[in-house]
Amino acid sequence: MAVWIQAQQLQGDALHQMQSLYGQHFPIEVRHYLSQWIEGQLWDAIDLENPQEEFKAKRMLEGLIQELQNKAEHQVGEDGFLLKIKLGHYASQLKSTYDRCPLELVRCIKHILYTEQRLVREATNSSSPVGSMMDSMSHKYQQINQAFEELRLLTQDTENDLRKLQHNQEYFIIQYQESLRIQAQLSSLASLPPADRQLREPALLSKRATVEAWLTREANTLQKYRLDLAEKHQKTLQLLRKQQTVILEDELLQWKRRQQLAGNGAPPEGGLDILQSWCEKLAETTWLNRQQIRRAEHLRQQLPIPGPIEELLNDLNSTVTDIISALVTSTFIIEKQPPQVLKTQTKFVATVRLLVGGKLNVHMNPPQVKATIISEQQAKALLKNESTRNDSSGEILNNNCVMEYHQTTGTLSAHFRNMSLKRIKRSDRRGAESVTEEKFTILFESQFSVAGNELVFQVKTLSLPVVVIVHGSQDNNATATVLWDNAFAEPGRVPFLVPDKVLWPQLCEALNMKYKAEVQSKRGLSDENLMFLATKAFSSNPESDCRNMTMTWSQFNRESLPNRNFTFWQWFDGVMELTKKHLKPHWNDGAILGFVNKQQAQDMLLSKPNGTFLLRFSDSEIGGITIAWVAENPNKAGERLVWNLMPYTTKDFSIRSLADRISDLNHLLFLYPDRPKDDVFAKYYTPPLCESPLSAYWFATANHDPASGNPTYMDHGASPAPLSHPHSYAIYPPMSDSMLDGEGEFDLDDTMDVARHVEELLRRPMDSQWSGPQS
């Protein structure tokens, strides 16, 4: 639920606090009319302490003003006129206020949003329905930002303590030098006459004793300051580790998981701006603490005082270096993955990015990134830190790229734009494993130096698993391997292990995600569709509750379906391809039931009037769709039958669309259950003026048998729309049994030749059609 909707429900003191957030600096009307836009922006991605972020804040200001102006322009009527003037005034006012300091606008809006969220959270019981709908992501971001604020305060505190320690130590050294001067004076008294020595010695001895007592006390104080500072640094580093774990092991891993699921059609993983801003804050805070620890070590070396501080500082230095190392190596990521089905001799792209590159000034010495393809076994050895002797499993062309720093976005990345896999070296396959089940990965590696080669990091990252193919015919099975891996990979797995069997509901989720993405439709697979798929997958009527049923990889894409020469996945993928290429609008309109078997279609249609039809995916042919309709049996009066056309495929629809074919078939009257077909499909019919002249000619000639004088059935014929010959064909012409196969389907070889010939002739050059005598 939007925060603004909940904020408007506040009462009493909470409401007054919310209202006090607004004024001339940011009118409450702007918050109200642009609430959705405001809450949709990534305000947290802008670092208010970084002046270089001003360009992002400027864009936010410009976007806000543009939204206000757009809102004003769309106001109409008497009330709209007043609001139009008011919104236009607010746009000018905000531009005037923040044009020179856009970061202040960001600071203002962030404060407003955080305060509103806090007020709503405090006013809502956590168990209430409203509370349960609170944006958990915003709450998580708030916790992360609060932790950064705590780290900032701790780092500022240790900075102040370090300066105080330095000041005290400098004064201590001055006093120590004073003690040495007094000692030198005492030593020089030996050369004086006894009377002079006795006169001056007591004062010097007293002064020396006072200074030495002070030095002793101050040495203990300095040691305590050093220990206290070290303990504070320990606390800061502990919080840094905790914050880094949240960002790298929770947020970044979740982003990577979303990226993997996006390969199956899930929503995009989202931008990296917020993650980068967090990682840069981690880098900045860690680096500041490292500098403080090194300064503390320098002070210790400058004035050694016996005690445990030396060991403590060594431990702190080691810890902070480990934190930086983990941060740098973990934030070297693949922003744009290479294709997971990778065809040899085909150009592909990828982008790698270092999220902390700009903050650590890595770009001052631009690193080079190298891409290599390695096998699953080599990837396992790499993660175990076992030597792979720089082996690769193939040759990638154009596999080196220099990282570039983009000033406007603050990103350091390498864009591989023209890579190509020249050759692949396959390993020995296990058991029934095919080449399209063998997984590889692209290894990206580089070397970064920080602080003028003070720290040097070797970094590596692996792409999502890729399946290498050499021919397009392998794409179908390779996609199955990728889909299974993306859907069921577990975090932290050994490359690239996936379960051999999964629960049916898990597979349904993956199939639905893939289907909606491929077809580019919001209409996914219904429960009835999934039950149909379960029946097909398990080759029997599954239990009413499929939640506990499991499907193995072999059932998914190794073993053929009963009495078929293709697997479950190959059939499903064929349906997706056909729908994506030719049936998308009809699927989106709900015109295609699709996932219905022949018996179900018969049961559904026999209860409907003659001429009712439905569209279902073919059981017997990959990527086919058939039309089933109910009509009278021409050979037996009073009997009604359900007829099934032989399946249409991509080849058929490349000649004539589904809508036009349905228009051609005059015996099809109502789309199941009772929608007139023209109401559903007319908007997709090819306009008559766009028809080929031969379409009408061949329809007229092919539908008339001069010898018999009887019309012949032409179920794949061209549209009669251009011509009006009401008596040249019949709606339900006589059919002989020889036209049907044993299951009541038209035999394509025997009954579709006419249609095929017509379609072939329609594709021939016009001149050849009209040469020779015509009737």
pLDDT by residue (tens digit) across 496-531?
999 999 999 999 999 999 999 998 888 889 989 999
pTM: 0.70
DSSP strand pairing (612-617 vs 670-671): parallel
Residues 6+ away with beta carbon under 8 Å from 749? none
Q: Is residue 715 predicted with pLDDT exceeding 50?
A: no
Q: Is residue 740 predicted with pLDDT exceeding 80?
A: no
Residues 6+ away with beta carbon under 8 Å from 559? 567
Residues in the chain, overall count: 775
State mean pLDDT over 737-756.
Answer: 42
State mean pLDDT over 614-618.
Answer: 95
pLDDT tens digits along 552-591: 999 999 999 988 999 999 999 999 999 999 999 999 999 9
Per-residue model confidence (pLDDT) at position 325? 92
Contact 419, 397 (CB under 8 A): yes
Bridge partner list, 372: 443
Q: Is residue 428 predicted with pLDDT exceeding 50?
A: yes
State mean pLDDT over 442-449.
Answer: 92
Per-residue model confidence (pLDDT) at position 201? 82
Residue 450: what residue type? V
Per-residue model confidence (pLDDT) at position 434? 84
In the three-class reduction of DSSP (H, G, I as helix; E, B as strand; rest coil), residue 666 is classed as coil
Per-residue model confidence (pLDDT) at position 710? 32
Greatest alpha-carbon pair distance for the chain in Å reads 157
Alpha helices by DSSP H, 424-549:
475-488, 504-519, 527-538
In the three-class reduction of DSSP (H, G, I as helix; E, B as strand; rest coil), residue 483 is classed as helix
How many of the other CB atoms lie within 10 Å of CB of 749? 9
Residue 51: pLDDT band by 50, 70, 90 thresholds? confident
Q: Is residue 389 predicted with pLDDT exceeding 70?
A: no
Residue 351: pLDDT band by 50, 70, 90 thresholds? very high
pLDDT tens digits along 593-605: 999 989 999 999 9
Task: Write out the H or E segment, with its range, that includes residue 754.
Answer: helix 753-763
Work out the mean pLDDT of the chain and round it to a whole number: 82
Helices and strands, number each (H, E), in the chain: 28, 18
Per-residue model confidence (pLDDT) at position 46? 85
Contact 392, 466 (CB under 8 A): no
Show the tokens assigned to 347: 């150009």
Show the tokens assigned to 706: 């001069």
Show the tokens assigned to 593: 């039931």
Residue 542: pLDDT band by 50, 70, 90 thresholds? low
Who wins on pLDDT, 96 or 430?
A: 96
Who wins on pLDDT, 741 or 314?
A: 314
Show the tokens assigned to 42: 């990534």
State mean pLDDT over 415-438.
Answer: 85
